[in-house]
Amino acid sequence: MDDSKLKLSKQVCFPIYSVSRLITKAYRPYLEELGITYPQYLVLLVLWEKDNLTVNEISKKLLLNTNTISPLLKRLEKLDLIQRKRSSEDERSVFVQLTDKGKQLKAQALPIPEKLIADLESEKIQIEDMEKLKNMLCEWLSVIQHKCESSTKN
């Protein structure tokens, strides 16, 4: 029996997982200054792009289940960065809006992407490499997401 395929070093997903965790860790000092976590930052990014979305819309954009998003929203609401309102037309829908404080936080967050790129850039990692990797991962994401959606429909 050839079990070499089960070595950690042979797994495609492990380096992706590890890099993701380390990049999230690299964000931490910048986000701590804002008083938020990386998952909360992702929710805010979605809302800074388009405010007044439903919980389901945010969940879809972040590829997370609503039961994962709900506690994030609750904490963001306690921080007075968002407010949730139940739809008057459909009680099952909850809309999420930025508060004034949440809108103001965007200006403080604006330098974070550039700072992070500066932190990650090195002789071995150039900004062009980061952009190529991001584009490739977006393609993978699209393909894998489509395959996962197709498999759950069958």
pTM: 0.91
pLDDT of residue 15 exceeding 70: yes
pLDDT of residue 143 exceeding 90: yes
pLDDT of residue 149 exceeding 90: no
- The class that CATH gives domain 20-103 is mainly alpha
According to the 3-state scheme, what is the secondary structure of the chain? CCCHHHCHHHCCHHHHHHHHHHHHHHHHHHHHHHCCCHHHHHHHHHHHHCCCEEHHHHHHHHCCCHHHHHHHHHHHHHCCCEEEEECCCCCCCEEEEECHHHHHHHHHHCCHHHHHHHHHCCCCCCHHHHHHHHHHHHHHHHHHHHHHHHHHHC
Report the pLDDT value the prediction gives residue 81, as an integer from 0 to 100. Answer: 98
